[in-house]
Structure 1
Amino acid sequence: MDVTIEYLYAVVAIVLCIVLISYSKSDARTQPPLASGGWPFIGHLHLLANSNEPPYITLGNLANKYGPIFSLRIGVHKAVVVSSWELAKELFTTHDLIISSRPKFTAAKILGHDYANFGFSPYGDYWQKMRKVTASELLSARRFEALRDVRDSEVKRSLMEVYNKGDLKVEMKRFLGDMNLNVIMRMIAGKRYSSEGSDEREVRKVRRIFREFFRLSGLFVVGDTIPFIGWVDFGGHVKEMKKTAEEMDSVVCEWLEEHRRRNDSLESKMEQDFIDVLLSVLDGVDLAGYHLDTVIKATCLTLIAGATDTTTVTITWALSLLLNNRHTLKKVQDELDNHVGKERLVNESDITNLVYLQAVVKETLRLYPAGPLSGARQFTENCILGGYNINAGTRLILNLWKMHRDPRVWSEPLEFRPERFLNTHKDVDVKGQHFELLPFGGGRRSCPGITFGLQMTHLALAAFLQAFEVTTPTNDEVDMSATFGLTNIKTTPLEVIAKPRLPHHLLFLD
């Protein structure tokens, strides 16, 4: 009898083992293919930290091998990499709600005021509230139109400074960065930073702080992927983040104090800036436990840093592409001459008629999106994507760089062809409705500043090319290699020789 029972136990155990093995194999088949080459503890981090190429190229090469969806291990975390427009459409329609949250990173906690920065904060009531306030009070069509003169005057002022310098060589990152910084600073804090009429040390400090914000936000911190050694600050990045966070905080604290002093003294002001609006509309509102000042500081910083960096990066890539395709550069300037002329400076109302310029910007965003891996996301529920099971907690990496080079969608995908947006792809826009082109991301977590970014890119590029004949210092091609951080910047700074093509008096401010 005992022998019979033992025999039955043995049979049951064997059957259970077979079932479990079969289930395990079946479950593996329903998961996205796992890229080979993962190491214990660190997973595939060594592949993404390859200094010879940016991670979006590494991931693009892996997509060639494993397909448009595959999985990685980033330390202890699992991630899926998506590289096709069909899957992007499924993500931003069927699964948009459950991919609208962010993973919690060290940079977001330290530089984002413990996630009060709504660009870094998890999806929820607080994020929705701050996104709504920003959209209605700073980035709405009404507000945008009211601030048109700010953008026009800052572009004009920047061009005039180039004229007045007498030095024909212009370093575009600094030129464009200062221009964009002053535009968004006037919109948010009601002030500008320039060497003219400002403390030069303060100017340099502000520039440096926002450059550091973006550089540090894109750095790899070991503790984000291997938490049990997170107490070790490899490379000193956490220390740098804390220092930059303190400096940023002190700058914005000064702005808040200035606004409160002015409001207390009933000093009149023609136009409220965004800080004025936030002080008014957020007073007494439930802010998920955050202090009012913390929310204002975090919100202002994310908008300033985002608007300055991404727009500067896009215009720099656009000008680099034009300098490497001089026939295209000539077409842009011919269009400006035909629709605007040389008797006045281009303004925002002209952009609608500059269809070739708009095509150049779209093609730039296709080839060199400012964020080629989009923003980090995290699945908050289990779901099925592309026929595969995805578990809650999995991180999402959307490889826009790979998607935008899909030969099924784009003929000669590696070539700079603005004309494609005048014929075969003339109805494709960049605002998240066409999933084959998503430079600003998609779904409810897409970039809130799309309109601002496009308007500033069009206006600044048009004005610079109308005002100056542009070439490289040695008339050679521009180096197009990139360094990847939070945004995709040129490895080599873009320096150009700018010779006036408009009369000087057109740049005098009214």
Structure 2
Amino acid sequence: MDIINCVIGLCIAGVTIQAFCLLARRSKFIPRELLPPGPKPYPLVGNLFELGDKPHVSLTKLSQRYGPIISLQLGQLITVVVSSPTLAKEILQTHDQVFCNRNPTDVVRACKYNEYSLGWLPVQARWRKLRTICNLQLFAPKVLDANYSNRRVKVQKFIDDVNESMRAGEAIDVGGAAFTTSLNLLSQTIFSTDLAHPSSETARAFQKTFWGISEEMGKPNVADYFPLLTKLDPQGIRRRATYYFQKILGILDRMIHQRLELRRGHNYITTNDMLDTLLNISEEKMEDMDMRETQILFLDLLVAGTETSSATLEWAMAELLHNPKILLKAQAELEQVIGKGKLVEESDVARLPYLQAILKETFRLHPTVPLLVPRTAGANVEIGGYIVPKGARVLINAWAIGKDPNTWENPNLFMPERFLGLDNQIDFTGKNCELIPFGGGRRMCPGLPLAIRMLHLMLGSLLNCFDWKLENGVVPETMNMAEKFGVTLHMAQPLRAVPRNRRKSITGC
């Protein structure tokens, strides 16, 4: 109702004249018949009411009606939505240079986030510098290999905490436990310290704040569709996002300044974590570190790394509990390859094709960023036989692509087997646009290598160390598998499951 009330307010505010004038000017440049098809827009509001509270689902239904590329008039903004792997490839690969930039939404202007964030910066000098740091200093294979022991310690702590719940006969919040593990792994990697402890409220506070950022970024914002309203922030989205950003940035600021003080001491021993790495780079170049740039880089890593990893693990566990035969098959593979009750090591993953297939199938059915991050057309360009006009916002509906019946057999079923065999080598590194949970092209998520390592370790270890049942007598057939939309796609009802001792043998099940 938020957006409906604001739209009604627009009429009272007199935005109608401005909107119609702008639409009239645009129609002179790109005739309507050259634009991708779509529903007829209403006066002033355009197709805003078509979005609903789950835009990824609404846009999928529109694509089923109008085709794999559609255009919507959202207030004063033309939005083009692509929902097929073929057209996604044109955006992400063929015309990547045209679509590589992003027009910041109003919410990301909070705390000037868009001026420093790797996800929103234009492809210019600052973006290239940050991307190079991520690729060479933070997520390079040799760096990740060197930090493996840190990941193993965190996974062991994760399993130990689950073990305590098992002894007490208590259910665990799967997403919350995965969030704490991911947060501490990243904070150890960045600062050599844990930011959260399962027994304290800090993990829940961070999770609430990170979800708040994701939720505000995912909300349809009338200020994006009617620029005249930007300063008014009619839905309060930027105000709430500012509150969340300031909470995290304040913590990061204190940690960075504490490290600077320590480094001034004569007996300081470098930790080789991300913060020391960036400080060393600054000293070698004999220049002061840009503090806000560093804070927001760390904020990006923490929010993106924890939200996406914990949501993916929760969806994977939910699908396995919803499909017990697949769960047993995964456990049988783990028992046969590495032995029951052992932690999964990174060196084991290559020998666990079914575990890999489970994660791929989870990414297909439940991409954590269902509409990816919006791009902007840098010029008029032909896609799929239609003109995408310069300045249009372009969305790639990864959720719809993962459920495209022209690509996937029985697309609504959870079937990891579809990724097994030599005839199906689809991966999620951006090369195959049938599966793009991390995006593609030069704007692909830089943290993919770390996320994939952690997800295999956490999921495999949970399955190999415990048996599982649902809480309070819930059975697979009655599980709530509904989604909650934000920038990150979460389960509407958090998954709670009870860990149990593994049976003696499941080989052959």
Is this a same-fold pair by TM over 0.5? yes
Deviation at 1:146, TM superposition (A): 0.8
Q: Distance in 2 between matches of 1:450 and 1:238?
A: 28
The gaps in structure 2 that reach 5 residues or longer are 1-26, 505-509
| Equivalent residue letter for 1:195 | H
Aligned equivalent of 1:28: 32
Is the deviation greater in 134-143 or in 231-240? 231-240
Q: Deviations over 1:428-450 (max 9, x none)?
A: 11111112111111111111111
1:173 aligns with 175
Q: Secondary structure at the match of 1:407?
A: coil
Matches within 5 A, 1:371-390: 371-390=369-388
Q: What TM-score results when the alignment is normalised by the length of structure 2? A: 0.88
Q: Secondary structure of the residue that 1:108 maps to in structure 2?
A: helix
Match of 1:217 in 2: 217
What are the Cα deviations for residues 397-425 of structure 1, in whole angstroms up to 9, with x where unaligned?
11111111222221111111111111375
TM-score, scaled to structure 1: 0.88
- Number of the residue aligned with 1:82: 82
For 1:231 and 1:25, the matched residues in 2 are separated by: 28
| 1:270 to partner: Cα distance | 6.0
Mapping 1:2-401, distance limit 5 Å: 27-36=31-40, 38-48=41-51, 50-51=52-53, 54-110=54-110, 113-165=113-165, 166-195=168-197, 200=200, 202-269=202-269, 271-282=271-282, 292-342=290-340, 344-401=342-399
* Higher mean displacement: 322-331 or 449-458: 449-458
Contact 2:430 2:438 in 1 (8 A): yes
Aligned match of 2:475: 476
Provide the rounded CA distance (Å) in 1 between the counterparts of 2:29 and 2:415.
46
Q: Which residue of 2 aligns with 1:16?
A: none
Relative to structure 1, the CA distance from residue 266 to residue 26 in structure 2 (aligned partners, 3 Å threshold; closer, same or farther) is closer
Give the Å deviation of 1:202: 4.8
Residues 107 and 280 of structure 1, relative CA distance in 2, 3 Å threshold: farther
Aligned to 1:440: 438
SS at match of 1:79: strand
Unaligned runs of 5+ in 1: 1-22, 504-510
Counterpart AA for 1:172: V
Q: How many residues align?
A: 473
Task: Find out whether 1:463 has 2:465 as its counterpart.
Answer: no
Instruction: State the match for 2:5 in structure 1.
Output: none
Provide, for residues 328-349 of structure 1, a one-character-per-residue CA deviation record: whole Å limited to 9, x for no partner.
0000111111011136322211
In structure 1, what residue type is equivalent to 2:489? N
Q: 1:26 to 1:225 in 2, by over 3 A?
A: closer
CA distance in 2, matches of 1:46, 1:329: 41
Paired AA for residue 66 in structure 1: Y
Q: Larger Cα Rg: Structure 1 or Structure 2?
A: 1
Q: Kindly state the Cα deviation for residue 502 of structure 1 after the two structures are TM-superposed.
A: 9.0
Moved more, 294-303 or 224-233: 224-233
Alignment-mate amino acid for residue 304 of structure 1: L
State the AA in 1 paired with 2:75.
G
* 1:81 Cα deviation after fit: 0.8
Q: Percent identity?
A: 29
1:9 aligned partner? none
Displacement after TM superposition at 1:240 (Å): 1.4
Q: Aligned to 1:72, what secondary structure does the other structure show?
A: strand
**Greater CA deviation, 398-407 or 331-340?**
398-407
Please say if residues 283 and 292 of structure 1, whose CA atoms lie closer than 8 Å, have aligned partners that are also in contact.
no
What CA distance in whole angstroms lies between the structure 2 residues aligned with 1:284 and 1:41?
55
Distance 1:170 1:455, change over 3 A: same
